Amino acid sequence: MLQEVILKNTKLWIADPDLAYVQAFAEYVNLKKGYLFQVCACTDQTRMEQTPDGDETEILLITAKWYEAWKDVLQGKCVILLSEGNLPGKFTSYPTVYKYQSVETILREIMYYYSEQDNRELYPAGVRKDNRVIGVYSPADANAKTQFALTLGQIVGETQHVLYLNMEECSGLTGLLGEHHWNMAGLIYFLRQNKSQFLYRLNSMVQKFGAMDYIPPCDSYTDFCQITVKEWKKLLHLIRSQSTYDVIILDMGTSTGHELELLRQCDGIYMPVKKDPISRGKIEQWDRYIQILDGLDKEERQLIYLRYFQEKTQAAVGEILGISQVQVSRMEKKILERMRKQM
């Protein structure tokens, strides 16, 4: 008898005559911590009373050989065909998963198809209190920063569930992590559609590197530059509120234009630096920049925040602050002049 460990109320039925295959698949998923499915199994085509006719069952992974006999009870479910090779043309419109590949790959494909077929809108939940976001940032040495972030992920991943997110315009990690069909740009695109099954799409893209998970970084500079700070913040909120990760590590670049706003989302920040004069000089310049921002009054800080972190127009800022666009322009000019002198 298969042991079931229910992590989420999403039932995944696997229906195939290969008993050994079905049992191995179900046991692997049900006993593995962190998966989103409760797997139920059927290996006898004639036992229709076993078919998933309840509301709890949402996904069916079924051998194409049985589809015709079961099609009447599959209405309203996410149906994915389990294939042993090329299927007849009548099945081309159905999502298909190749049977003889790793369970991890099969699950990623299932989660991808499930997230595509669900059209309900996304309703974000509250942020969990038991996870942390750790930022790794350095204005002086990007290579040392990334090496530190990857090492940190391996160390923390030995005892906790860790997700690594690279937020650089050019990560340079393809040689180390390999190329992948889906990456961060694809996840952000899905996020823009505001569909409910974000977590399934996230997990369909997750890859493993040693002791930590990661989402493949953007491989296009153009795609990266189109991601707004609002989208980065929404992504972090959803990961914190919906996923099982204990720690999310942000490997942050220096060209997003939103570094300060994203650093504010972190529970802890590491800044690896070298001891050479140039690196020290960059850190000192960064410190002065932070001190200058701290020296602004409340209204001035709000203006800079709205203009340069939320990318609002001067007219929009004026409406928020209760002043005219001309006043915003004058105030912004004075603030920038003062900042340049202090820098």
Angle 73-77-83 from CA coordinates, rounded to 5°: 85
Q: Dig out the tokens for 123 from the structure.
A: 């309703």
Would you say 39 and 25 are in contact if contact means Cβ atoms under 8 Å apart?
yes
Nearest to 245 by CA among 127, 150, 89: 127
Would you say 235 and 188 are in contact if contact means Cβ atoms under 8 Å apart?
yes
CATH class of 296-342: mainly alpha
CATH topology of domain 132-270: Rossmann fold (3.40.50)
Percent of the chain residues topping a pLDDT of 70: 82
Which position has the higher pLDDT, 139 or 28?
A: 28
Q: What is the mean pLDDT of the chain?
A: 79
pLDDT at 35 (0 to 100) = 64
According to the per-residue pLDDT averaged within each range, which of 42-51, 68-77, 123-132, 247-256 is highest? 247-256
Which position has the higher pLDDT, 153 or 119?
A: 153
Looking at residues 270-291, what average pLDDT do you find? 74
pLDDT at 27 (0 to 100) = 87
Residue 69 pLDDT class (50, 70, 90 cuts) = confident
Would you say 261 and 292 are in contact if contact means Cβ atoms under 8 Å apart?
no
144, pLDDT greater than 50: yes
pLDDT at 336 (0 to 100) = 85
Neighbour-count burial for 136-168, b at 16+ CB within 10 Å, e otherwise: bbbbbbbeebbebbbebbeebbeeebbbbbbbb
82, pLDDT greater than 70: yes
Residue ranges per domain, the chain?
11-117, 132-270, 296-342
pLDDT at 3 (0 to 100) = 31
Identical fold between 11-117 and 132-270 = yes
CATH topology of domain 11-117: Rossmann fold (3.40.50)
